[in-house]
Amino acid sequence: MNKDESTPRKMFDFRKKPMQSADDAAAKNPKTERREKFYADIREGETLLDITDLRIVFKTDEKEIVAVDSFTLSVKKGELISIIGPSGCGKTTILRAIAGLIEPTGGSIRIGGNECKGPGSDRGMIFQDFALFPWRTVRKNVEFGMEIAGIPKEERSERAERYIKLVGLDKFKDARVHELSGGMKQRVGIARAFVNHPEVTLMDEPFGALDAQTRNIMQAQLLRILQNTEQTIIFVTHSVDEALFLSDRVVMLTKRPARINRIIEVPWPRPRDRSDHDFVEMRKAILDELEKENVMN
């Protein structure tokens, strides 16, 4: 039994282990190099993020837009939650509020029992449109947050190298981001978020712009990264397939204002087989429900 199998993630039950590669070996290190965490006393499986009665109203000159209303959700440490819902229903708004980029109109967002007030390095966000610096190299993009945090050059460079390797971009670390493909850019976004060891990572349709094949590769790669590092993730997607492939729970939202329609526990161990009968059935049931939600509204 190798070292990983003796210490499985509780939330993440990977039964079939992929073959050990150089990247896997590199991926083990982040756990050991991890700094003292903000919420070290919260154990995997215990509530880390608590959102209660979240309400977000945007006021423009002419009108008020209620984007989110009565949104209540508890996220456990180590959990991967997918949020799925109609376009414009308020998914990005929820993530931005958790990231501290929008102040809630009502309700509360707590991490480790503390009210989130503004952005913090305990939360990392991977944006819908990458939000990278095109003229910076891969390495310089990944180092950006650490530069801001004043982390010494040597540590910055060592950590960046490790995470660039983890996302399979070792050969491109000195390439400028504008020279990369969409999938590669998204991997830079992932490395840039994870290198800062956020307690909660917010991913806003990170693979939405990719072709189906690259998307599947990225999903598998994300799972491989998660296998070796402790992460709590909220993942917004439009794809039911992606949500079922990746998550512990799928949160289905209503049309705007975003409220929780239903939460589905995904019971299967990873890696999952998309062609499995139960997988196909559940995907169909969720799609039917989403369609009903659209028709009823």
Q: Which residues sit at the interface with Mg ion, rule CB under 5 A?
A: 92
Q: Check binding of 247 to ligand ATP (CB under 6 A).
A: no
Residues 42, 89, 99, 223: which binds ligand ATP (CB under 6 A)?
89
Nearer to ligand ATP, 103 or 281 (CB): 103
Nearer to ligand ATP, 30 or 85 (CB): 85
Closest approach, Cβ 10 to ligand ATP, in A, equals 30
Closest approach, Cβ 67 to Mg ion, in A, equals 11
Residues 9, 192, 256, 270: which binds ligand ATP (CB under 6 A)?
256
Nearer to ligand ATP, 228 or 254 (CB): 254
Q: Are strands 232-236 and 80-84 parallel, antiparallel or unpaired?
A: parallel
Residue 67 contact partner, candidates Mg ion, ligand ATP, none, CB within 5 to 8 A by sort of partner: ligand ATP
Measuring CA to CA, which residue among 284, 289, 232 is closest to residue 262? 289
Asked if the peptide bond before residue 269 counts as cis, ω within 30 degrees of 0, the response is no
Q: Contact 124/203 with Cβ under 8 angstroms?
A: no
Query: Given the rule CB under 6 A, which of 90-98, 130-138, 148-156, 195-203 is the region that contacts ligand ATP?
Result: 90-98
Nearer to Mg ion, 160 or 252 (CB): 252
Measuring CA to CA, which residue among 11, 13, 4 is closest to residue 272? 13
Q: How far is it, in rounded angstroms, from Cα 3 to Cα 205?
A: 33
CA 206 to chain centroid, in Å, comes to: 8
Closest approach, Cβ 58 to ligand ATP, in A, equals 3
According to DSSP, residue 112 is labeled T
The Cα angle at residue 203 between residues 38 and 294, in degrees rounded to 5: 130
Residues 26, 29, 44, 65: which binds ligand ATP (CB under 6 A)?
65
Q: Check binding of 92 to ligand ATP (CB under 6 A).
A: yes
Q: Long-range contacts of range 36-42, CB-CB < 8 Å, 24 or more positions apart?
A: 37/197, 37/199, 38/111, 38/112, 38/122, 38/199, 39/77, 39/111, 39/112, 39/122, 39/199, 42/77, 42/112
- Quickly list DSSP for 44-56: TTSEEEEEEEEEE
Closest approach, Cβ 236 to Mg ion, in A, equals 6
x/- string (CB under 6 A) for ligand ATP, residues 68-87? -------------------x
Measuring CA to CA, which residue among 114, 131, 239 is closest to residue 250? 239
Nearer to ligand ATP, 209 or 280 (CB): 209
Residues that bind ligand ATP (CB under 6 A): 58, 60, 65, 67, 87-93, 256
